[in-house]
Chain A
Amino acid sequence: DQQVKQNSPSLSVQEGRISILNCDYTNSMFDYFLWYKKYPAEGPTFLISISSIKDKNEDGRFTVFLNKSAKHLSLHIVPSQPGDSAVYFCAASVAAQKLVFGQGTRLTINP
């Protein structure tokens, strides 16, 4: 049972444009959501997070939106840069316990 789903295995975006990565979840008890970025041969790197009491969190070029009624969150990257090319994992937790990860989306930024 996949509680956190990233339905797009890959996404290609032109440099300078907006990248939108999507994530859906099924467990309504999740109260904290995170995005991690992973380069090949490296561990995941924490990017940005959002609590379930908020609907938006912004950090520089990265913004995460949470729609609790739809059980959906998204990560917006604007403007996209070549260094943003990586695999992005959505993750969720209940009461600060273990992280449950989505399958990941491979983002490629084209020049």
Chain B
Amino acid sequence: DTEVTQTPKHLVMGMTNKKSLKCEQHMGHRAMYWYKQKAKKPPELMFVYSYEKLSINESVPSRFSPECPNSSLLNLHLHALQPEDSALYLCASSQGRGGRGHTEAFFGQGTRLTVV
């Protein structure tokens, strides 16, 4: 199993809603990531979890709240988002054991988020 599974594939939410994005992998990877990708732009890193601990937060606004319940799951809780937060949110995982382990990441299909 070399898949990273993200749900939902599409999400439309209002600015007052609370929603969560979910990500799951069963490759035994110990690093998991959230990326944000706007149209015609490259993916931009948001958060890195390494061994279930938050290791990198790229100065992401607090309306995005990550959670790593266990080594296979990664959530992104969304609250009071703005229309400019509409984007493709990508989850990724990697071995996370140093060297190139952090960088050869496997990506999910993404969640297409629209904030109205």
Give me the interface of A with B, judged by CB distance under 8 Å. 4, 32, 34, 36, 41-46, 49, 51, 89, 91, 93, 96-99, 101-104
**A-B contact sample (13 more), CB < 8 A, given A98-B45, A103-B41:** A32-B103, A43-B4, A43-B6, A46-B105, A49-B104, A51-B100, A93-B103, A96-B101, A98-B56, A99-B105, A101-B44, A102-B42, A104-B42
Within 8 Å CB of A96, what residues of B? 98-103
Rounded to whole Å, the gap between the CB of A25 and the closest CB of chain B is 13
The answer to whether the Cβ of B49 comes within 8 Å of any Cβ in the partner chain is no
Within 8 Å CB of B98, what residues of A? 96
The answer to whether the Cβ of B92 comes within 8 Å of any Cβ in the partner chain is yes
Tell me if A43 and B109 are in contact (CB < 8 A). yes
Tell me if A89 and B42 are in contact (CB < 8 A). yes
Tell me if B41 and A49 are in contact (CB < 8 A). no
A43–B41 CA distance with the chains assembled, in angstroms: 14
CB < 8 Å: which of B58, B90, B99 contacts A44? B90
A103–B37 CA distance with the chains assembled, in angstroms: 11
Rounded to whole Å, the gap between the CB of A32 and the closest CB of chain B is 5
Within 8 Å CB of A44, what residues of B? 43, 90, 107
Given contacts A89-B42, A99-B45, contact A34 B103 (CB under 8 A): yes
Within 8 Å CB of B21, what residues of A? none
Map CB proximity to A onto B44-73 as digits: 1 under 8 Å, 0 otherwise.
110010000000101000000000000000
CB < 8 Å: which of A41, A42, A93 contacts B102? A93
Could you list 9 examples of A-B contacts with CB < 8 Å? A32-B103, A42-B110, A43-B92, A96-B99, A96-B101, A98-B48, A102-B42, A103-B42, A104-B42
Within 8 Å CB of B99, what residues of A? 96
A101–B25 CA distance with the chains assembled, in angstroms: 23
Closest to B56 in A: A98
Rounded to whole Å, the gap between the CB of B64 and the closest CB of chain A is 16
A51–B6 CA distance with the chains assembled, in angstroms: 30
Rounded to whole Å, the gap between the CB of B105 and the closest CB of chain A is 7
Rounded to whole Å, the gap between the CB of B50 and the closest CB of chain A is 10
